[in-house]
Every structure is written in structure tokens, then in C-alpha cells.
Structure 1
Amino acid sequence: MQNRLETLDSILDRLRTSIRKNGLKNSKQREEIISVLYKSGTHLSPEEIASEIKTKDKTTSISSVYRILSFLEKENFITALEADKSGRRYEIAAKDHHDHIICLHCGEITEFVDPEIERLQIKVAHEHNANLISHNMKLFVICQKCQKIKP
């Protein structure tokens, strides 16, 4: 798991400010989704998030989770990752930069940082007379566990 750039409390404070700025009413579900993602430390699907929230609030609907995820992504509280054909998975945006290794069989997502890859990306951008602003690297693999499974 990558280092957190913010505490959960500071993210929730920013969320409350964003909600006021957007003229919305405060919603415990928004805060709960942020909390679930922050505490999980991993990449969760909307269904996994809804399931976790339903343990505390039985009235949570999957449609409201999708709607809230869309808002949280638009406001840069979370980031979405298209891992595989199973759909988007979400993580807290307040983490150090990292890249992803994604198994195409089981969908397991591993975060990594490689200083050499980071250096080479900047070098390539400069060779093309450009300044690297950001990047999003995903390596699609068959993980060691899945390689051992006979087809």
C-alpha cells in the first residue's frame, strides 16, 4: 500500500467544503464511501463498496453508490481504474504516485513504484520536447497464482 498524503479526517473536511461549494446537502453516504475506500487501502468495485456500507446502512442502493462515486471522482477525491472486463475499481486519490499491475485472470491489482521507470518517462518526454505532467501506467499480466492454474 502506498503512503497516504492526507488523513481520513482531512479528506472528509475537504469533502464537506466541496459539498457546500457545490450547493449540495451533506450526505453520510458520501463520507461513508470515502471512509470505506480509505480504510480498505485497496481498489474496490461499486458493488464491494455498497456491500460494505450496507452492513451499517441497509437503505444504501447501488444506484446511489454509483452516483456518489461519479461525484467523488469528478471532485478528485477518488480515482477510477479500469482493471478488466469486470468494470471500474476505485481508490482514494490522496496517495503518493504509483502505477498498477493488473492480473487479467483474477483481477488482482498490485501497486508499485519504480524510480527507473519514472526517470525514463521524463527522459522520453524531454526527447520529444515536452514536459511530463502526469502519467497512468497499467501493466496487464497473468499473475503467478493464475499461471499455476491449469486451463
Structure 2
Amino acid sequence: MAVEKTITKRLETLDSILDRLRASIKKNGLKNSKQREEIIAVLYNKSGMHLSPEEIANQLRMKDKNTSISSVYRILSFLEKENFITALEADKTGKRYEIAAKAHHDHIICLNCGTIIEFVDSDIERLQIDIAEKFGTQLISHDMRLFVLCSKCKTNS
């Protein structure tokens, strides 16, 4: 698994996220699911990491050997739709997930080894707002991903 660096901070505690999850489950008329809460906990506790569904399932299998990958995919879809988690498609291996309750950040992704580095750059943030204003628009959101060869992969090629 790729090593990741993070400089972003959490905006919520795990308990407050789980409280919001329970309210969302009730609002959607669903049954409470321990597995939904466990997936949130895995992603929260692996802050700074961007986990694949398989990596999440492996973490859950440490507690419950009967965890099914199809259940994990289904739950991830629900959690993403309800904005508890965000997905990042770093490469052709599929989506990787992180908890959504973090301060805004951007990503640097190595196309060779898959390393993901989170970063925030105030100059880039300011430039994006300036560019949007230059075109007479208001920036609402953005997703910046820089695809690179990391220093380790550059050295080995």
C-alpha cells in the first residue's frame, strides 16, 4: 500500500459523524447498520489515508470474518451519496475513499505507485477565486488533482 502524507485537519469528531449518520439512516427509512458505522470508523481512524473498498473490507474482516465485499460497496455508495465520505479516482484501479469531515485539501497522485499526498496551498486557492471572478463567475467548489511521478518512482525509472 502506498504511503500518504496529510496536512489536513478534521472538522468533526467520530461521535458527531455517527450521530449524523444515525439521523440520515432514520430520515431515509433504513434499519440501523453496525457495518455502516464501522466503515465510517475505519475511514475516520485512517485519516489521511485513501482506502479502496477491498482495504476497507479487510479492516472490517479483522472483527467480522463474514464481511462481504458487495455489502461494503453498497454501503460506500450510500455514504458517498449522503456526503459522509468522498471518493477519489486516483488511477485505473478504482475509487479510493476518505472521510468527508476534513478541511478542504487537494491531492498529488503518483501515476506509477499510487501514492496520494494531500496538500493545501493558499496561493493556488486565491488564484482559483481570481480566475473565476475574471470570468464573471463565483467559485463554489473545486477538486484539484495533480498527477505526477513521485520522487521515489522518478529515481527508480
Q: What TM-score results when the alignment is normalised by the length of structure 2?
A: 0.94
**1:35-94, Cα deviation, whole Å (9 max, x unpaired):** 000001110000000000000011110000000000000000000000001110000000
1:17 to 8, 16, 23: 23
> Residue 149 of structure 2 corresponds to which residue in structure 1?
142
1:82 to 86, 89, 95: 89
**Larger RCO (CA under 8 A, 6+ residues apart):** 2
2:114 to 107, 113, 118: 107
Letter aligned with residue 117 of structure 1 = I
> Residue 35 of structure 1 corresponds to which residue in structure 2?
41
Extract unaligned runs of 5+ from structure 1. Answer: none
Extract unaligned runs of 5+ from structure 2. Answer: 1-5
Residue 149 of structure 1 and its aligned partner are, at CA, apart by 1.2
How many residues were matched structurally?
150
> Residue 3 of structure 2 corresponds to which residue in structure 1?
none
1:131 matched to 2:138:
yes
Letter aligned with residue 118 of structure 1 = E
Which whole-Å CA distance do the structure 1 matches of 2:155 and 2:41 have between them?
A: 36
> Residue 56 of structure 2 corresponds to which residue in structure 1?
49
**SS across alignment from 2:25:** helix
- Percentage of pairs with the same residue: 73
CA RMSD of aligned residues (A): 0.5
Which whole-Å CA distance do the structure 2 matches of 1:91 and 1:128 have between them?
A: 32
1:96 matched to 2:96:
no
Q: What TM-score results when the alignment is normalised by the length of structure 1?
A: 0.98
